[in-house]
Amino acid sequence: MNYHERYLGGETISVYKEIENLDFSTLNSNDKKDIDKVLTETFERVDFNLKIIYNELIAIGYLFKTEHKFNFEKPLHKPLENTESLIKKLDIAVSPFGLVPLSLKYFYRIVGGVNFVWDFETNEKFMWDMADPIQVASLDSIAEEVTTKYWKEDIQQYVDDEEFGCAFLDLSADDLHKDNASGGQPYSLKITRKQTIDGRFMNEPNDTTFISYLRICFDNCGFPGIRTDSNNEYQGFFNKVKPQLKKI
């Protein structure tokens, strides 16, 4: 069986273990089509899962921001009409440092954006403290960031730094910032020298890839930082939502 057939058959983790380090540019056309089907299926499931979680959160009175000046403030938003032009702008901006992993491009083409952070400006009493809700910045905000006057200069300093040694795209606040407290570096996707299917999701507690981060989020119904053993209200939410989610 090919990768897509195996993925549909339930080998979601093993398939990605095999393909995430492949150099996409060296694959033949049939292999590329196969991986395209895997990525498309994956992010259609991501989109499905996020909508399930969002609807259940609304049902229990979870407090999302309701007035949105920018797309990145919205709990969910569909792919933007100018997605392809924004991806092209992103590719051009990061080209001095490398390439954007395909996983992020498929996320923006199929899902759009997600921000399940509690609206602490309206109510400082969080439903679940330090839950680290899933968040992936909107494509337009990322494209705007990488085309600012000083972005390349700032990123070059990280590339030259021995600790970092690479360029990256900031995609999410860390768990402390999400709880309106001072925190550390944003969760960021590493820009790769060669075209890859997925990339390292930096600064996030699990030290994993972007798709694996999404998988961990869904394992915890959108809140990977929460402690399930001490929160009965969350446990009830989890018990209702988890069986509805698709494996990615």
pLDDT, tens digit, 9 for 90 and up, residues 136-158: 999 999 999 999 989 999 999 99
Q: What is the pLDDT of residue 226?
A: 87
Q: What is the pLDDT of residue 230?
A: 60
Q: What is the pLDDT of residue 232?
A: 72
Number of structural domains (the chain) is: 1
206: confidence class by pLDDT, cuts 50, 70, 90: very high
Q: What is the pLDDT of residue 169?
A: 97
Q: What is the pLDDT of residue 149?
A: 86
Q: If 0-12 CB within 10 Å is exposed, 13-18 middle and 19+ buried, where does residue 29 land?
A: exposed
- Give the count of beta carbons closer than 10 Å to the beta carbon of residue 47: 19
Region of poorest pLDDT, from 93-107, 110-124, 153-167, 217-231: 217-231
Per the structure, the complete domain to which residue 126 belongs is given by 3-244
Output the average pLDDT for the chain.
94
Q: Are 84 and 108 in contact (CB under 8 A)?
A: no
Q: Nearest CA to 197 among 7, 1, 63?
A: 7
Place of tokens 């979870």: 62
Give yes or no for residue 248 having a pLDDT over 90. Answer: yes
Give yes or no for residue 229 having a pLDDT over 90. Answer: no
Per-residue pLDDT tens for 13-58? 999 999 988 888 889 999 999 999 999 999 999 999 999 999 999 9
Region of poorest pLDDT, from 164-178, 197-211, 219-233: 219-233
The residues with which 189 forms a beta bridge, in sequence order, are 169, 201
> What single DSSP character describes residue 168?
E
Q: What is the pLDDT of residue 181?
A: 87
Average pLDDT of the residues in 195-219: 95
